[in-house]
Amino acid sequence: MPAITRLVGVYDAEATLRGEITYWIGARLGRRHCALCDITHGLFTPKSEWRECRDGMPVAFDTFHLDDQPESVRAALAGTAPAVVAETDAGDLVMLLGPAALERCAGSVAAMLAEIESAATAAGLTWVAAPAP
């Protein structure tokens, strides 16, 4: 069974200052929405619950924006955002959560973790073994 070595989330927003401001204003006016942003960020900064969760995961969970995501992730997602993919020890990228699954999380970090677990199990993925102390 392939093991997850890293998770990668991609926001449906751009990382530039202009992109961040445009997204923030659009979100406040109800014109822009990113379910992954709702899970990981409060009004201005990352949620403490998200930081604690990310830091306690068995693998790294890196996040990117539309314009700064790695090319391999961009190719795997084929324009889908927001999304979460798993990188495996076999070198594959496996889509775990797309926009609908992230939307179901309704801004909840715990719900996103449950969705990731469920999707990983359905894809036949395990977690990379933690290093021995």
Instruction: Write out pLDDT tens, residues 114-123.
Output: 999 999 999 9
Please give the Cα distance from 39 to 49 (Å, whole number).
9
Task: Decide the pairing of beta strands 3-10 and 83-88.
Answer: antiparallel
In 1-133 the beta strands, taken as DSSP E runs, fall at 3-10, 60-64, 83-88, 93-97, 126-127
pLDDT value at 131 more than 60:
no
26-30, 31-35, 39-43, 75-79: least confident range:
26-30
In a domain, 133, yes or no: no
Count of domains in the chain?
1
What is the model's pTM? 0.85
> Are 23 and 32 in contact, with CB atoms under 8 Å apart?
yes
Domain, as residue range, for 28? 3-127
Average pLDDT over residues 86-103: 96
Instruction: Write out pLDDT tens, residues 48-59.
Output: 999 999 999 999
Supply the CATH number for residue 103's domain. Answer: 3.40.30
Average pLDDT over residues 98-111: 96
